[in-house]
Amino acid sequence: MKWRASKISTMRTWGLLLVFVGMGVMVFGTSGILLFGEVGKIIAAIFMVLGMISCIVSMGIYFWVGMLSTSAPVLDCPQCGKRTKMLGTTDRCMYCHTILTWDPAQATDSPDATADGGEVPLQSRS
């Protein structure tokens, strides 16, 4: 679980994946013109529309993440000391992937838990 990313980074990754899928679908659809001739133009048009829908959904995801990012509180990570944004009560640092939480009931202070990617309470930072 150490390699999991923050919520903002994960949503941006899904947006980028949708862009690549959309572009790939459009390129795959245009190959229908070469393979199937006249019928391939219909196939290309269908795949072009599907690819554009995927790219538009990706644009919506990027817009949504941008709006969430502007209202997310910025804090200093107690593990690496870098400034990161946090969504919700529990999130991960964008740089060192340490679990951060606002809720003291979910936080752990043991050094073993933080070494394994455990939660670091924000109240104990100096």
DSSP type of residue 118: -
Whether residue 3 contacts residue 90, with contact meaning beta carbons closer than 8 Å, is answered with: no
Give 20's contacts (C-beta < 8 A, 6+ positions apart): none
Tell me which of 52, 71, 90 is where a domain ends.
71
Q: Which residues of 11-45 are buried (b: 16+ CB within 10 A; e: fewer)?
A: bbeebeebbebbeebbeebbebbeeeeeebeebbe
| Structural domains counted in the chain | 2
Tell me which of 32, 55, 71 is where a domain ends.
71
Question: Three-state DSSP class for 104?
Answer: coil
State the DSSP string of 10-69. Answer: HHHHHHHHHHHHHHHHHHHHHHHHHHHTHHHHHHHHHHHHHHHHHHHHHHHHHHHHHHHH
Locus of tokens 């933080």: 114
Give me the tens of pLDDT residue by residue for the chain, a chain 126 residues long: 456 888 888 899 999 999 999 999 999 999 888 888 888 899 999 999 999 999 999 999 999 999 998 988 888 888 888 898 888 888 888 888 888 888 777 777 654 444 455 555 554 444
Q: Would you say residue 2 lies in a domain?
A: no
Tell me which of 71, 91, 108 is where a domain ends.
71
- Co-location of 83 and 64 in the same domain: no
Question: Three-state DSSP class for 99?
Answer: strand
Q: Would you say residue 1 lies in a domain?
A: no
pLDDT at 109: 60
108: domain range?
Answer: 74-124
